[in-house]
Structure 1
Amino acid sequence: MGIYSDYAGSGTVHLCGAAAALAVVTVLGPRKGKYSADGSSNAMPGSNIPMAALGAWILWLGWFGFNGGSELVVSSEASAIAVSQVFLNTNMAAAGGVVGALLMSLILTGKMDVTMAINGAIAGLVAITAGPSAPTAGAAVLIGLIGGIIVYYSILFFEQRLKIDDPVGAISAHGIVGIFGVMVVPFTNPDASFLWQLYGVIAIAGFTYIASLGVTYAINSFMPIRATDEEQMAGLDATEIGVEAYPEFD
């Protein structure tokens, strides 16, 4: 019959967070200027790509503790070997994710988009999180590579087709790839069942989205969460904390 298996949380952590994020943007709506009158999307680049990349590399490093720590014990040779396999697979999947996202960017645009590389790394990490102990290193690379490809297309689909404004691609990287990570577990873990993995995905995403939607609507009813048009034009650095990130550009 099999079981639901999610070693370190592709579903319980990442899909859960993405479902909550989707609920918030459902209420929040797109940023001013994101979509034109004809429905086409407009690029709104981040202000500091090097800092975003640094944040991703810090996440990458932290993931060794996140996944490796989920083994919970390193008191025997067997558990130490298991943790080392988790470390190896975590790193290989992240690298595969970067390659997958960059390949898609290069093939489709002729450029290697750094922001897609960042999301590719996160996608690879999310994809392997549900089952980092069982695959071989080669399988981990493949899982990460597919995760990187998925996140590339998913970001474009949410932005251009569904008109959902997700500035950093979190719903795609953590949600869509999180689903993939959960569903791929039975390929390397014979104890896991595709049916129970699917049940887990539906339960986590469904409950979290509905609960988060209710809470967000309630908060928004007495404390609007969307910045006004004027605040968006001035920038939240100035309107929220009274400091300009780049005063020389005023």
Structure 2
Amino acid sequence: MDAVARSVDMVWVTLSAILVIFMQAGFALLEAGSTRMKNAGHIAGKQVLSFALAGIAFWAVGYAIAFGEGTPLFGTGGWFLRFPAEEGGIPTEILFLFQLAFAAVSLAIAWGGFAERAKLGAYFLFGTLFVAVIYPVAAHWIWGGGWLSTLGKQDFAGSTVVHLQGGIAALVATLMLGPRIGKFNRDGTANPLPGHNQVYTVLGVLIIWIGWFGFNPGSTLSAQDGFFGYVALTTNLAAASGAIAALLAVRIFTGKADIAMMLNGVLAALVAITASCAFVEPWAAVIIGGVAGALAVFSVFYLERRGVDDPIYAFSVHGVAGIWGTLSTGIFASPRLVEIVGVGGPGLLYGGGLRQLLIQLLGVTVTALYVAIASFVALWVIDRLFGLRVSEEEERMGLDLSEHGAYGYPEQLTPSGDVVTVVRRASAEEAS
């Protein structure tokens, strides 16, 4: 029976890893649909590059730093996945695949801050550094037996480890690159640069929502007691609440029921519940998701008014919501669920006092500072050596053509990047 139970757990974790990996397809559609047509092929294609870079870097170095034995700050053994064989439990190879999927998602989030104006070479260099030596350190602190885990930091599936790290890296990148050409006027007012395909964006978010059932329920690492079903419930309740809250918030702010903001609300709610999904009751999941959705909308408008051009809203959705989600366990963590999970203590509303909330705040603060400093140093060096941003001519032309030599939609774009219709093009060819 033990062998059967172990086999079921191995299949469950592998399936969960596949679901999280499939989120890359969601990010490709989300980001490509949210950006302009002249960059669509580049934006979608970099998701493949992102996962490829993560696969090699995390195998060679990152997994060892995150989960190898070592100091409270980082792991020092297990390079190239050379871990001692264990009797029972889930094999290292499966755990690696699962954790690789998480690291790749964090990198995909970071890429949002680079969109539509960064050199392809910057993706190679920063992506490798991020997955190999930046992301794994905070992962070790919280998940790998590091100093925050010994304090009882609660982050069940990665509001801090995955989403806050990616969101902070994206913010640093977008600040260093500066706004896209034409985004802001001289008086500081913003111009809309709408994405070219909202249907892609909707489909991408739905794929990501489905993939999240590998993200959160999969983090139980076991199918034996059915607890993953409870985690799936809180995850879905939060996402639904986030969609509704964001749509209402943007309607209040602008008078329009903006679909893109509703989608941001779904993602922000999923980010927020990722830390607390195993620690909170269903009613609290609804509150956490709703607050996250509204916060994301507010953050998007606030940053734009401050002159920050975050094309995919990576920091608002993953950074701001990641902070809120991490703190929320310190407020809403239920004693009965804390006992089941075995990490940290109950939240403020259950008589736990401020201790857990302060631990959560400490985790958010040190992680954000570490990732901000490390990302800035890495990007500063890359900028000085090779440059981060494409030329003005290349940006106006579009990265599809300037970086790859072909448009993602060759029938609908001229070399100058202007949209034309297939009918017009066909009519001209017939006339000639």
* Same structural fold, with TM-score higher than 0.5 when normalized by the shorter chain: yes
Q: Given the alignment of the two structures, is residue 5 of structure 1 paired with residue 154 of structure 2, yes or no?
A: yes
Q: Given the alignment of the two structures, is residue 241 of structure 1 paired with residue 241 of structure 2, yes or no?
A: no
2:166–2:318 contact (8 Å) kept in structure 1: yes
- Counterpart Cα distance in 2 of 1:19 and 1:108: 26
- Counterpart Cα distance in 2 of 1:233 and 1:3: 49
Q: Given the alignment of the two structures, is residue 203 of structure 1 paired with residue 363 of structure 2, yes or no?
A: no
SS of corresponding position for 2:216: helix
Q: Given the alignment of the two structures, is residue 180 of structure 1 paired with residue 324 of structure 2, yes or no?
A: yes
State, as a whole percentage, how many aligned pairs show the same letter.
41
Pair member with larger Rg: 2
Deviations 1:172-220 (A, max 9, x none): 1100110000001022325051111111001110000100000001111
2:330–2:358 contact (8 Å) kept in structure 1: no
Per-residue deviation, 1:70: 0.8
Q: Given the alignment of the two structures, is residue 224 of structure 1 paired with residue 387 of structure 2, yes or no?
A: yes
Detail structure 1 runs of 4+ shifted over 6 Å in the superposition: none
Match of 2:66 in 1: none
TM-score under structure 2 length normalisation: 0.55
- Counterpart Cα distance in 1 of 2:279 and 2:373: 33
Q: Given the alignment of the two structures, is residue 42 of structure 1 paired with residue 207 of structure 2, yes or no?
A: no
Which range moves more in the overlay, 129-138 or 142-151?
129-138
Q: Superposition pairs for residues 59-208 of structure 1, below 5 Å?
A: 59-75=208-224, 77=225, 80=226, 82-161=227-306, 163-189=307-333, 190=335, 191=345, 193-208=356-371
SS of corresponding position for 1:5: coil
Amino acid at match of 2:251: L
CA RMSD of aligned residues (A): 1.4
Equivalent pairs, count = 244
Deviations 1:81-115 (A, max 9, x none): x2111001111111111111100112222221111
SS of corresponding position for 2:276: coil
SS of corresponding position for 1:117: helix
Amino acid at match of 1:239: S
Deviations 1:3-40 (A, max 9, x none): 31111110111001111111211211111111111111
Match of 2:89 in 1: none
2:156–2:277 contact (8 Å) kept in structure 1: yes
Per-residue deviation, 1:235: 1.4
- Counterpart Cα distance in 1 of 2:368 and 2:399: 31
- Counterpart Cα distance in 2 of 1:48 and 1:235: 16
SS of corresponding position for 1:39: coil
Bigger RCO (CA 8 Å, 6+ sep): 1
SS of corresponding position for 1:43: coil
Per-residue deviation, 1:134: 2.6
Per-residue deviation, 1:242: 2.1
Amino acid at match of 1:167: P
Amino acid at match of 1:152: V
Amino acid at match of 2:166: G
Amino acid at match of 1:61: I
- Counterpart Cα distance in 2 of 1:243 and 1:122: 31
Which range moves more in the overlay, 168-177 or 228-237?
228-237
- Counterpart Cα distance in 2 of 1:148 and 1:9: 18
Deviations 1:114-141 (A, max 9, x none): 1111111100101100010232222211
TM-score under structure 1 length normalisation: 0.93
Structure 1 gap segments, 5+ residues each? none
